[in-house]
Structure 1
Amino acid sequence: MTTTDERLLAWALLSRAALASPDTVRILLAAHGPVDAAERIVEDGVRSRFGPQTRVTAELDLERAQRAGGRLLTRDDPGWPAALNDLDTVEAHTPIALWTRGPGQLNLLTDRSIAVVGTRAPTSYGEKVARYVGMDLAAQGWTILSGGAFGIDAAAHAAALEAGRPTVAVLPCGLHRLFPQGNAALLAEIEKTGLLVSEYPPGVEPNRNLFLGRNRIVAALAAGIVVCESGIRSGTSNTVRWGNTLRRPVMAVPGPVDSAESRGCHEFIRTGQAQLVTTARDVLDVLAR
Structure 2
Amino acid sequence: MNSIIKYDLEELKNIQNKPKNIYYKGNLELLNKPKISIVGTRKPLNYTQLLTHQLSLRLSQVGNCIVSGGAMGVDAIAHKAAGINNTILVSPCGINYKYPAINKKLISQIEENGLLLSPFEKDFKATNYSFVQRNEIVVALGDILIVTQADLNSGSLRSVEFALKMEKEIFVLPHRINESLGTNKLIKEGKAKIIYDIDEFVKIYTKISIDKENDDFLEFCKSNPTFDEALQKYNSIVYEYELNGKIEIKNGIIKPI
TM-score bracket for the superposition, by shorter chain length: 0.7 to 0.9
| Partner SS, residue 99 of structure 1 | strand
* Cα distance per residue 1:108-162 (max 9 Å; x no partner): 1xx400001000111111111110000000010100000000000000001011x
Alignment of 1:130-279 (within 5 A): 130-161=52-83, 165-259=85-179, 262-278=180-196, 279=198
Deviations 1:237-278 (A, max 9, x none): 01001011001111111112232xx11111111112211113
Aligned pair 1:285/2:209, yes or no?
Answer: no
Unmatched tracts of structure 1, length 5 or more: 1-67
Once the two structures are TM-superposed, the CA of residue 192 in structure 1 deviates from its matched residue by 2.1
The percentage of aligned residue pairs carrying the same residue is 28
Contact 1:119 1:152 survives alignment (8 Å)? yes
TM-score (norm 2): 0.75
Contact 2:163 2:170 in 1 (8 A): yes
In structure 1, the residue corresponding to 2:28 is in which secondary structure?
Answer: coil
Q: Which amino acid aligns with 2:201?
A: D
Which letter does structure 1 place at the counterpart of 2:119? E
The whole-number CA distance in structure 2 between the counterparts of 1:209 and 1:97 is: 17
Provide the residue aligned with 1:74 in structure 2: 7
Q: How far off its partner does 1:287 sit?
A: 9.6
Deviation digits for residues 164-208 of structure 1, max 9, x if unmatched? 741000010001121111001111121222111100011111111
Matched to 1:105, the amino acid is E
Partner of 1:86: 14
| Cα distance change, pair 210–139 in 1 and its aligned pair in 2 (3 A) | same
Contact 2:17–2:133 (Cα < 8 Å) also in 1: no
Partner SS, residue 67 of structure 2: strand
Which structure carries more helix by proportion?
A: 1
SS in 2 for 1:105: helix
Deviations 1:8-58, CA, capped at 9 Å, x for gaps: xxxxxxxxxxxxxxxxxxxxxxxxxxxxxxxxxxxxxxxxxxxxxxxxxxx
Offset at residue 286 of structure 1 (A): 7.8
Answer whether contact 1:119 1:230 (CA < 8 A) is retained. Answer: yes
The 3-state SS of whatever aligns with 1:73 is: strand
- CA RMSD, 1 decimal: 2.0
Cross-structure match for 1:102: 26
The answer on whether the counterparts of 1:113 and 1:144 sit within 8 Å (CA) in structure 2 is yes
Q: Quick check: 1:69–1:101 contact (8 Å CA) kept in 2? A: yes
Preserved CA contact (<8 Å) 1:229 1:265: yes
Selected match of 1:126 from 45, 48, 51: 48
The separation in 2 between residues aligned to 1:231 and 1:84, in whole angstroms, is: 27
Please say if residues 171 and 198 of structure 1, whose CA atoms lie closer than 8 Å, have aligned partners that are also in contact: yes
| 2:31 match: secondary structure | helix
Secondary structure, aligned partner of 2:95: coil
The size of the alignment, in residue pairs, is 206
Rounded Cα–Cα distance in structure 2 between residues aligned with 1:140 and 1:200: 32
**Separation in 1 of the partners of 2:49 and 2:129?**
26
